[in-house]
């Protein structure tokens, strides 16, 4: 059974700092991995999707990497802003189903 863990569970940083969120999964046989953000009481917004054959994806200040063999992915956020405050979830797909990580709640302090 696939298990997805995210560390840290919560993170508080001052504005402008670069930060890294971690995601680890137990079964490396995945189809893709996707990072989402979730604002309180809201749905999920897709940030980046990495196919199993890819090593990283970039979008603006965000960079996600994937090391399938070690079962790890990182989400790098450069020059953090208060608007980045949210819960970040990673999700892996071995097939049709998706397994979500436990989430990292990020607070960026102005």
Partner 1 sequence: GAVVSQHPSRVICKSGTSVKIECRSLDFQATTMFWYRQFPKKSLMLMATSNEGSKATYEQGVEKDKFLINHASLTLSTLTVTSAHPEDSSFYICSARLAGSNEKLFFGSGTQLSVL
* Residue 32 exposed, middle or buried by CB count within 10 Å (0-12, 13-18, 19+): middle
- Residues found near partner 1 in the complex (CB under 8 A): 31-32, 34, 36, 41-46, 49, 51, 89, 91, 93, 96-103
Q: For residues 46 and 107, which CB has a smaller minimum distance to partner 1 in the complex?
A: 46
Nearest to 37 by CA among 79, 110, 109, 91: 91
- Least Å distance between CB 16 and partner 1? 28
The least CB distance from residue 15 to partner 1, in Å, is 25
Q: Which is nearer to partner 1, 36 or 65 (CB)?
A: 36
Smallest Cα–Cα separation from 59: which of 67, 49, 51, 69? 49
């Amino acid at each position: 059974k696939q298990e997805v863990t995210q560390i840290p569970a919560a993170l508080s940083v001052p504005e402008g700092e670069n930060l890294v969120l971690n995601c680890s999964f137990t079964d490396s046989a995945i189809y893709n991995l996707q990072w989402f953000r979730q604002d309180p009481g809201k749905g999920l917004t897709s940030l980046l999707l990495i196919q199993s054959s890819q090593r990283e994806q970039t979008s603006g200040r965000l960079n996600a990497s994937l090391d399938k063999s070690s079962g790890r992915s990182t989400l790098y956020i450069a020059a953090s802003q208060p608007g980045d405050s949210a819960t970040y979830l990673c999700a892996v797909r071995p097939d049709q189903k998706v397994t979500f990580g436990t989430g990292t709640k990020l607070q960026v302090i102005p």
